[in-house]
Structure 1
Amino acid sequence: MTGQRRLPGWLAALIGTGVLVAAWWLFSVSVYTPQPGTGYTPVPTPWAVLARVVEDGPQPYWGPFRVTITEAAWGFVWGNGLALALAATVLLAPRLEVVVVQVAVVSYCLPLVAVGGISIVVLGGADRPGDTSDTAVFLAALAVFFTTVVGALLGFKAADHASLDVVRVFGGGRLAQLRKVQLVAALPAILNALQIAVPTAFLGAVLGEYMGATDRSVGITLIRLQGNLDSERVWAVFLLCALVALLGYAVLGLVARLVTPWVSGRAA
């Protein structure tokens, strides 16, 4: 008996996008209608937002997004680098696993808003305005730390014990096992964790920009637009944020398919 055929990925994405746009449009025309006398609506229609983006062009949005993407990228590198280093340390010293997991859980439970306020004081972000914010980079790194630690630990534990025994029989130590067996076995889980970390890092950077001192960024742009009651541009920035995060997620997914072809059933 043959199983049910799954929808192609592109078709599922198209259907999901259509459902979201339809729900957005129904919400804007039925719940948040324009206020009498002002024409202001907190939730403009998708067509109004797209028209605003086309009318403005890429220039007003590129500068803020360039800064935020840079902050998210640095946070992505630092957070994931530390997470992978700690996960690898657990393999060399298994007794440290409990400590590393507890640190990861505590970092996940910390409220980012409170941590952001503390990081401004510690990092001095409020006194050094510039193109990037240390607070945004720190929150982006903190946002991705837990997922990557857990994903890497689970991936390392997925290594085949028979292969580890073979390396041990031929005189290999923990480092040889890590390099020849465990890293290969953990690659799918690590890449999946890194893929999830892309939108998370971007979200952490935007949140940090609400607290840190940046001259121009997505967070500062949202604050200014909200103060001006410019709902169309606010939603335009929201939409562009989603597209940037989705693009980064898709790029990491493509990298994962190229690096680990055996996961999708293709010959290695």
Structure 2
Amino acid sequence: MTGRLHTWLVGAVGILAVVAIWWLAATTFLAGHHIPTPPDVISKFHEKGFSYYREIFSITLKEAAIGYLWGVLIALLLAVAVLLIPVLEPVIMQFAVITYCLPIVVLAPILIVAHEIPAKGGTSATAIDLAAVSVIFTTVVGAVLGFRSADQASLDVVQVYGGGPVQQFLRVRLVSALPALFTTLQMAAPAAYLGALLGEWFDKHLEIGVGPSLYLAQNNRETALAWTLGFGCAIVSGLAYFAIGWLGRAIAPWAKGTSR
């Protein structure tokens, strides 16, 4: 408990220090560079109101969540295939690397042309696709490493009792991999949100969402609004990261560092 309190205290002090430096810089040597102060950002939050942010963030979150689920599902199926059909490993790992190396600025226009124009107030298929692509590589690598971290003695016991690769996977590898899987899923959540945000940014047909709002704020040089949206994205991604971490500690309490 003391260690956790110390961690929270250090984090709070760090945040306050960053805000203080930001405030000082915005009012001194960066005063002419359109950097808003903390009161400016808070005032813009108040001016726009909670309903504005709820409306645009709900669209982006929906896109990120759908893409996240599809990307994770595809990645886990690929990771399982690597374990059960080892001959496929080179192909699957190369595919995962390709998804990581694909340049978004090239992929996004292709997806926009391939998909239909989203309905007013609807979600962007491009944003969903980019969210899914953004999580495949990390999830495949993390899942494969987690599955392979299983204790060899336990695998041998299952084999001695007549269990094949499938039984070894279900009874040993899957349980052993849970901590690593949840760590991987934690990292994938912000990546999926970023992918959805970039998809919205490129898809100019979309009218509602964080991406279009950021684009308009940039064009209108509304720096305070852009900062509020940036902070909102950071908060949403952070909450998703910590929520998945909490779920991992609840499901796999035996993981190192989660038993406290």
Q: TM-score range by the shorter chain?
A: over 0.9
- Partner residue, 2:27: 29
Deviations 1:107-148 (A, max 9, x none): 111111211111112223xx3344100000000111111110
Corresponding residue of 1:56: 48
Q: Which residue of 1 aligns with 2:10?
A: 12
Aligned match for 1:85, one of 77, 82, 88: 77
Indicate which of 125, 128, 150 corresponds to 1:137. Answer: 128
Q: Is this contact kept in 1: 2:41–2:228, CA < 8 A?
A: yes
Cα separation, 1, equivalents of 2:42 and 2:248 = 32
Q: Distance in 1 between matches of 2:28 and 2:93?
A: 47
Partner of 1:189: 180
Distance (whole Å) between structure 2 residues aligned to residue 223 and residue 128 of structure 1 = 17
Q: CA deviation at 1:11?
A: 1.8
Give the whole-Å Cα distance in 1 for the aligned partners of 2:237 and 2:228. 14
Amino acid in structure 1 at the alignment position of 2:159: R
Deviation at 1:50, TM superposition (A): 1.3
> AA paired with 1:266?
S
Residues 1:266 and 2:259 are matched in the alignment: yes
The question of whether the paired residues in 1 share the 8 Å contact of 2:131 and 2:194 is answered with: yes
Once residues 59 and 258 of structure 2 are traced to their aligned partners in structure 1, the CA distance between those partners, rounded to angstroms, is: 39
Unaligned runs of 5+ in 2: none
The alignment-based identity, stated in percent, is: 44
C-alpha change, 1:265 and 1:64, in structure 2 (3 Å) is closer
Gaps of 5+ in 1: 35-40
Q: Which amino acid aligns with 1:254?
A: W
Tell me how far apart the structure 2 counterparts of residues 246 and 197 of structure 1 sit (CA, whole Å): 12
* Number of residue pairs the alignment of both structures matches: 255
Name the CA distance, whole Å, in 2 between partners of 1:150 and 1:31. Answer: 45
- Give distance in 1, aligned partners of 2:31 and 2:140: 45
Question: Structure 2 counterpart of 1:224, which letter?
Answer: L
**Structure 2 length normalisation: TM-score?**
0.93
User: Which residue identity is paired with 2:259?
Assistant: R
- Contact 2:118–2:125 (CA under 8 A) maintained in structure 1: no
User: C-alpha displacement at 1:69, in angstroms?
Assistant: 0.3
Report the alpha carbon displacement of residue 177 of structure 1 after superposing the two structures with TM.
0.6
Distance of 1:19 and 1:105 partners within structure 2: 38
Pick the aligned partner of 2:241 from 242, 245, 249: 249
Residue type matched to 2:145 in 1? Answer: L
Spell out the pairing of 1:222-233 with structure 2 (5 A cutoff): 222-233=214-225
Structure 2 contact 249–258 (Cα < 8 Å) conserved: no
* Local SS of the residue matching 1:207: helix
Q: State the SS of the aligned residue for 2:254.
A: helix
Letter of the 2:35 partner, please give it.
Answer: V
Q: Which amino acid aligns with 1:211?
A: F
SS of equivalent to 2:208: coil
RMSD: 1.7
- 1:61: how far off? 1.0
